[in-house]
Structure 1
Amino acid sequence: MLVLSTLHTLLAQVLSLPDLHTAILSTPSGQLVCYASDAGRPKDEIRVIVGLSGEIWQEAEGEIGEAGMVDSELGRIVVLGVDEEQQQVEHKAATSEESDYQPLMLLTLNAKDTVDWDELQVKGKALAKHLAKSLSKYRQHLIWPLPKPGTAHLPSPTPVR
């Protein structure tokens, strides 16, 4: 079972207030799981960053082992996939395309423009690796298969005649 208080504590440990001020754990589909931030940060801004992080991850095409990075009005945003390296390597070996790779979770760090990109990546990769060890136990419950192109996601509301 995922314990949100433990996740919050782990996310809070990476913060360096006031510069590195937000750490977020979300699903690749954009659902907020947990976050840690400075006390004055409105939850609406957190939700905006979660939405942006999904877009940033897709723009980076979910490249295995890479981070998506963007400079925005909200500051610097770094998005990393949370998954064990072995799972990433197995996926890469099984498919010739990396574009359908889906990590267990996304870790997003948000900081002021004064924070170095390398510092954000180092902290993010260390936390993502730590989280992946625990979250990988729940892989079968966390990963949803990607839909096949051209198939309907929901059944038709009316029967076909």
Structure 2
Amino acid sequence: MLNLSNLRKLLSQVISPSLFAAVLFTPEGQLVSYAAGPYVSKDEVRVIVGLGGELWQESREEGAGQLDSELGHLLVVPLESPASDEAEGFTDKDDDPLMLLALNADRSLSWKELKDIASELAVHLEKPVAELRGRLSAAPTSPIRPERAR
């Protein structure tokens, strides 16, 4: 299961002078967690989420998106591999992953280095995210009891 304090610690481990922010968010643009360097504001994190969501929509067929922007390198990867999607029955190409990971880095960090960091983070996050998908897709129980027949 995803524990938000542990998640933030994990994301913080990749932050460096060259890697400014690691952001976990949904394809719909909901921020889940992030870690960022001291000079990255929450507004900039929101910009990363917005750009990341658009980038994902444009590049989902490739399985990842990358963009050079005023913020530097921006890489967006899904946190569910195609193999885990098939195992869960999510084989439709229109299905989005439950969560996306965006990394924002200085241009001095190569795309390969950035992808390697994203891959390492994804390995740690894919299983809890897949478990979360299973819990969210389970039929919800009604908190309201049906009225008794009178």
So what's the TM-score if we normalise by structure 2? Answer: 0.82
Q: C-alpha distance in 1, partners of 2:28/2:65? A: 16
* RMSD value, Cα: 2.1
Is the deviation greater in 124-133 or in 25-34?
A: 124-133
Residues 74, 83 of structure 1: CA spacing in aligned structure 2 closer, same or farther, 3 A cutoff? same
Percent identity of paired positions between Structure 1 and Structure 2: 46
- Structure 1 unaligned spans of 5+: 144-161
Q: C-alpha distance in 2, partners of 1:136/1:91? A: 8
Aligned to 1:14, what secondary structure does the other structure show? Answer: coil
The answer on 1:110 being equivalent to 2:104 is yes
So what's the TM-score if we normalise by structure 1? Answer: 0.77
**Residues 85 and 91 in structure 2, CA contact (< 8 A), matched pair in contact too:** no
Q: How many pairs are equivalent?
A: 137
Residues 12, 18 of structure 1: CA spacing in aligned structure 2 closer, same or farther, 3 A cutoff? same
Q: C-alpha distance in 2, partners of 1:84/1:142? A: 18
The answer on 1:77 being equivalent to 2:74 is yes
Per-residue CA deviation, residues 94-119 of structure 1 (Å, 9 max, x unaligned), is 44xx2x03112000000011110000
- Structure 2 unaligned spans of 5+: 138-150
Displacement after TM superposition at 1:67 (Å): 1.5
**Residues 19 and 103 in structure 2, CA contact (< 8 A), matched pair in contact too:** yes
Displacement after TM superposition at 1:83 (Å): 0.9
Per-residue CA deviation, residues 19-69 of structure 1 (Å, 9 max, x unaligned), is 011000001110000000012211000001100000000010x236x2100
Residues 5, 91 of structure 1: CA spacing in aligned structure 2 closer, same or farther, 3 A cutoff? closer
Displacement after TM superposition at 1:4 (Å): 1.1
Q: After TM superposition, what 4+ stretches of structure 1 lie above 6 angstroms from structure 2? A: none
Residues 94, 55 of structure 1: CA spacing in aligned structure 2 closer, same or farther, 3 A cutoff? closer
Residues 92, 42 of structure 1: CA spacing in aligned structure 2 closer, same or farther, 3 A cutoff? same
Q: Which residue of 1 aligns with 2:129?
A: 135
Residues 58, 92 of structure 1: CA spacing in aligned structure 2 closer, same or farther, 3 A cutoff? farther
